[in-house]
Structure 1
């Protein structure tokens, strides 16, 4: 693992039995006690994820708002101070550079959280599109430790070592200069699991201190460390996209079914013309949900076909721990994307029957 990048929490993984894998060039725990145990802990109690591999970029300056507004497909003009926004960021041709979180601290100060595998690419994209905007763009990722505490008991546990009332932080809002175990942090009520929870940002030097303390005080409420494996099953069940699966350079946000986050009525943003054209002409591909009718677990990359004709591929597939069903997401030709339609998934060179169902496999439990 010597050549892989390590987060500030790398040294605590062995203490909890973390099984390390290579994830986008990072040494990260895929699991501790097991994916199913960890998945159920987040759904029923709470789990804590190390997400320090994510990237953080600060945009400051007179034109910070204009720059961010041009960069993203969503509309930053609706943001209040200390509010967050989920948004795709697109290429001119409409494909996706990344999907990111945008925090507005002030009109001249934005904080962007980007995907781990895209940090260098995204940062270069921002620099290349700076143009005449009066902004500074700084990649502060190496200095930040970020972790998420997610689940129905997340607030109760975190509240024990925080100096503010967490119930005052609304969904997709953040609070800065919060003391967590007497350490200065930023806390946001966001996450990637479909459950209520928080993401905590602090200095890379302070993360271990908070992590260990939270697991100590949260034990009686069922808090356990959880890995990338259940992070994927949790986000998949509530149809939250993963870059490289449901979104990519050759997949637009419209094709991925997240058109709600593409505001085509905005004056201008990178990729707008291509996305307008795609929408007016009609989508050629759509993301669908499906449930297996025959035996077999669908996996990323498996072919989808109808009567032997290939019509697309699986973007994510699992045996859902919450539903105990073999389900998946697939990007297929739009003319076949109808609820109730029978399709075939090619599993180990054999065709297995599946049915197109609603993509929202599991109900989200966010605190509004």
Structure 2
């Protein structure tokens, strides 16, 4: 059984999306046990409409909900111990949940997650990893907003965590990893990115393959399984891709309704258009994973619908089933043990000289 705690009040629509979304996820994964945290007045009547979900859930009343525009520091002070967001995260800390899912305020969710769960040993800053549709299937991009600016060591940490997530999600033993850069040549880019590339090459990892530098157009191509960058550029790339997908959809909709012949052509090619629409549907890849914490937290888009929220739950379910946390911890231990050995060897060489 996979135990999943939900911030029922999170997102633009709260229980109206979270509860139906949980019901959809339960249909796909009958071995889920939900822990629901929310305001009684907003949740219980709606929960009664989903008897299967109610049977496989435990509801816990919260005193307040974190608003979408609340500052992280304010949400942390006001909501600690009392909000549905905090309680869903703290359930992991208490050992009664395997993963928390929220569509709430991203800044507040990250602040509470870091305060409640803490970062793993050796990790300076966590990252948000997004699943990205590509021409070859799916890739992982991180960080997409948790850390604005990152030094070389943090980028190496992101590569290790992204590689572990790829092995958990894609069921591959040796995913390919690339560093996002302004060019593929080794002389291009910021010093931290070039230094991170050097560190990863010297690491000679046995659990992922370092591809080298990749550019923005490589993300959609699926050139690598994992694209590593810092949160500022990663978030811009994510929002740009989402906006472009909506723009193309609007172009197609307008073109198909312009003339009678266009409408007839749309009817004849409807199956193909439906497949394109499904590929471009952001709900299918909803769910950013907070990596680097002592627990798994999934961030859903705040404005998604029930199908999108169910997809975020699916991501959390897969991460638990495939042992994401253990994979990250093992990779970090292996890397830090290697660094410790190298530092000792370098120290002995200096003494001998």
Class of the TM-score when normalised by the shorter of the 2 chains: under 0.3
TM (norm. structure 1) is 0.24
TM (norm. structure 2) is 0.25
More helix, by proportion: 2
Q: Which of structures 1 and 2 has the larger relative contact order (alpha carbons within 8 angstroms, sep 6+)?
A: 2
